[in-house]
Amino acid sequence: MGHTKHNPIVRALFNDDDVVLGAVKDLRSNGYHVSEVYSPFPIHGLDEAMGLKRTRLSTAAFFYGLTGLFFCSWLTWYTMVSDWPQNIGGKPNEYWFLNLPSFIPVM
């Protein structure tokens, strides 16, 4: 039988976010790996203290949102101007920026 390495699991409760941040920094400076910290609110600086890398999720979400906005605008233009134009309230369909308040819920 070989020796197995036991990784200790530490659970702690804190009432102050500064104490949590200090405890994580102390654990990391002593060579321990902190994998998860649960908090009901964001603790600023905790990502750096835990050694987490910056994620690209915000950039991806921005570009996916921009793609959705362009596709939605194109689909609205195609259905209302190119494919099947209708006279709705006497307003011009091809000038969507003049009717921008009605497009806000679509965007």
Q: What are the pLDDT digits (tens) for 18-69? A: 999 999 999 999 988 898 999 999 999 999 999 999 889 999 999 999 999 8
Q: For 58-80, what is each residue's pLDDT tens digit?
A: 999 999 999 998 998 888 888 88
With 0-12 / 13-18 / 19 or more C-beta atoms within 10 angstroms meaning exposed / middle / buried, residue 34 is middle
Whole-prediction pTM value? 0.55
Considering 34-43, 80-89, 91-100, the range whose residues carry the highest mean pLDDT is 34-43
Pseudo-torsion of CA 43, 49, 55, 57, nearest 10°? -10
**What's the whole-number mean pLDDT along residues 82-99?**
73
